[in-house]
Copies of this chain bind each other. A is one copy, B any other.
């Protein structure tokens, strides 16, 4: 401790936490901080980049440094799975009205823009183990991007894997032109006689890769939530393995665990 840049960063951090510098406020210019601290430009910049990595400030080139505002978080509720299951056997008309994402966000379907792309692949060793199938088993790999119509960045990156032999009975399921599919994956599986029993979701967090930063338009000082979702059918087979990347500053996951009564 007590390096020059840590002192400068610590002073500013204290002022931000005390509310003296409120979210949205402009920090003193770097030139000012150089004068006040008596340290060099690069040292002041280092202090500021520490605060940026902590997610406390946002640097805007040519404008100034600002206290970062908390972003409103989109909720992703695990009741979405039961909700989607309930609708999987409804009529097309009803299913067309809204999907699970709209259910979470409370938005109309027109507020969302949706991209999907399918590809046939073979199971890697890692995926084969999760599916409990031999390496090289044909899979259908599906990638999705969903974003608000009003924004440019998607709010998640999704890669889903289905077992090819389980879904090839319905040729419509192999063509990404049919996305967005009314009723979602659970309805798609229903068309080939698959009913889900449970969904496992494994959650962890890490700093974003440069590619994720790019695609999700993340600011420096943001983490990503990484979610692996595994769907089991009523015969206890793994039918879908999805990897989902979510921006940590814009996402909140909600899981409700109901307990049996005494």
| Cβ-based interface call for A72 (8 A) | no
Q: From known contacts A53-B207, A73-B204, A200-B254, infer whether A261 and B248 are also in contact, taking CB-CB under 8 Å.
A: no
| Cβ-based interface call for A206 (8 A) | yes
CB pair B251–A225 under 8 Å, yes or no, is no
Neighbouring B residues of A36 by C-beta, 8 Å:
none
A6 → chain B closest CB, angstroms: 9
| Cβ-based interface call for A209 (8 A) | yes
CB pair B203–A260 under 8 Å, yes or no, is no
| Cβ-based interface call for A224 (8 A) | yes
Neighbouring B residues of A165 by C-beta, 8 Å:
none
Q: What is the CA–CA distance of A252 and B26 in the complex, to the nearest angstrom? A: 37
| Cβ-based interface call for A125 (8 A) | no
Interface of chain A, main secondary structure = mixed
Per-position 1/0 for A114-136, Cβ under 8 A of B:
00000000000000000000000
CB pair A252–B209 under 8 Å, yes or no, is no
Q: Which of B207, B248, B262 lies in contact with A195, CB distance below 8 A?
A: B262
A205 → chain B closest CB, angstroms: 4
Q: What is the CA–CA distance of A256 and B256 in the complex, to the nearest angstrom? A: 10
Q: From known contacts A82-B259, A259-B81, infer whether A223 and B206 are also in contact, taking CB-CB under 8 Å.
A: yes
Q: What is the CA–CA distance of A82 and B258 in the complex, to the nearest angstrom? A: 8
CB pair B199–A85 under 8 Å, yes or no, is no
CB pair B259–A203 under 8 Å, yes or no, is no
A235 → chain B closest CB, angstroms: 12
CB pair A204–B261 under 8 Å, yes or no, is no
CB pair A259–B53 under 8 Å, yes or no, is no
Neighbouring B residues of A53 by C-beta, 8 Å:
53, 207
On A, residues with C-beta under 8 Å from B are 13, 42, 53-55, 73, 78, 81-82, 85, 89, 195-210, 221-225, 234, 248-249, 251-262
Jot down 30 A-B pairs with beta carbons below 8 A, ordered by A.
A13-B210, A53-B53, A55-B207, A73-B204, A78-B257, A82-B259, A82-B260, A85-B259, A89-B262, A195-B261, A195-B262, A196-B259, A197-B259, A198-B256, A198-B257, A199-B256, A199-B257, A200-B256, A202-B252, A203-B203, A203-B225, A204-B253, A205-B224, A206-B249, A207-B221, A223-B248, A225-B225, A234-B261, A255-B255, A255-B257
List 11 additional contacts besides A53-B53, A199-B256; criterion CB under 8 Å: A54-B208, A78-B257, A85-B260, A195-B262, A203-B255, A204-B252, A205-B248, A206-B249, A223-B224, A225-B225, A255-B257
